[in-house]
Structure 1
Amino acid sequence: MKIDVKTIKELADNIDKYNLNEIALESEGVKLVLKKEKLVQVETRPVQAAVVQQNTAVVEEAEEEEVVDTQEKEFITAPMVGTFYRSSAPGNPAFIEEGDTVASGETLCIIEAMKLMNEVKASKKCKVVKILVEDGQIVKKGDKLFVIE
């Protein structure tokens, strides 16, 4: 028995259907393991009132600048769920930096999904204004990765 795309899709659907964490299938020397990714929740604590009062004007200015800055920009979004990486391997230089101009088809980052490295490429020539995701961060399909112009 060969493991085809249809079988993989059915197994992936069963992970959600039966609330499983992992499914493994081995046939004729081929082993396939599908694992459900776990999202990490970050606990936040409220800031002390005195600090908030002193910095309120600065925070409001920064928020307004960011909203105005990103409202008129285009974004490159994550095409799938996975882990965002800025370089091809740990210790290697990042594919791009903020302020870089990239050509159509140039690799911007990698999203790792199920141990497969998927390159995210620029769909057109553009300038990368801001990188919105940290290296190693888990992203969902549609999450904004880069602000471009």
Structure 2
Amino acid sequence: MKIDVKTIRELAGNIEKYNLNEISLESEGVKLVLKKEKLVQVETLPVQIPAVQPSTGVVEEVQEREGVDIQEKEYITAPMVGTFYRSSAPGNPAFIEEGDTVSNGETLCIIEAMKLMNEVKASKKCKVVKILVEDGQIVKKGDKLFVIE
């Protein structure tokens, strides 16, 4: 018996017709194995994301209150949505204070997102002029966290 395309199609049809997982055929030293592809069904569950309080106006409030012109300064922004923390745990000292000079790679704060603590690090050596958000405040991606120079 010669294994040709017609035979392969018939065998493949039998896999579906008879709800088989595998068919093997051996003829004249040629072995053919057809296996049914297993489909994995993935079920997604809805994830509750805490409501994000927009931080609109925070920068303007700081400008008015502190007299800092943030528009002309460089700043470090939030890389993601989450809760801003100045220290590694409640009661621990803050990673940085206003006026500190930080080096490249130094941790500035933590943003908690979905129970994961994500360190925000300095991308270059700089001086932290102003901290723009309060400890425990929810921030969104792109919010200004620190004024630097």
Q: Look up the match of 2:101.
A: 101
Letter in 2 for 1:126: C
Q: Look up the match of 1:141.
A: 141
Where structure 1 has 5 or more consecutive residues not aligned to the other structure, the ranges are 1-6, 12-21, 24-33, 42-60
Q: Which aligned pairs between 1:55-66 and structure 2 lie closer than 5 A? A: 62=64, 65-66=67-68
Instruction: Give the secondary-structure state (helix, strand or coil) at the position aligned to 1:133.
Output: coil
Q: Which aligned pairs between 1:1-149 and structure 2 lie closer than 5 A? A: 11=44, 23=46, 34-40=47-53, 62=64, 65-66=67-68, 69-149=69-149
Per the TM alignment, residue 63 of structure 1 is displaced from its structure 2 partner at its CA by: 6.5
Alpha-carbon spacing, 1:40–1:141, altered in 2? closer, same or farther (3 Å): closer
Q: Look up the match of 1:19.
A: none
State the TM-score, normalized to the length of structure 1. Answer: 0.61
| Bigger fraction of residues in helix | 1
The root-mean-square deviation of aligned C-alpha atoms, in Å, is: 2.8
Alpha-carbon spacing, 1:64–1:116, altered in 2? closer, same or farther (3 Å): closer
The aligned length equals 102
1:96-144 Cα deviation digits (max 9, x unpaired)? 0000000000000000000000000000000000000000000000000
State the TM-score, normalized to the length of structure 2. Answer: 0.61
Task: Find the structure with the greater CA-based Rg.
Answer: 2
Letter in 2 for 1:109: C
Where structure 2 has 5 or more consecutive residues not aligned to the other structure, the ranges are 1-41, 55-62
1:20-68 Cα deviation digits (max 9, x unpaired)? xx73xxxxxxxxxx32112358xxxxxxxxxxxxxxxxxxx946933xx
Q: Look up the match of 2:35.
A: none
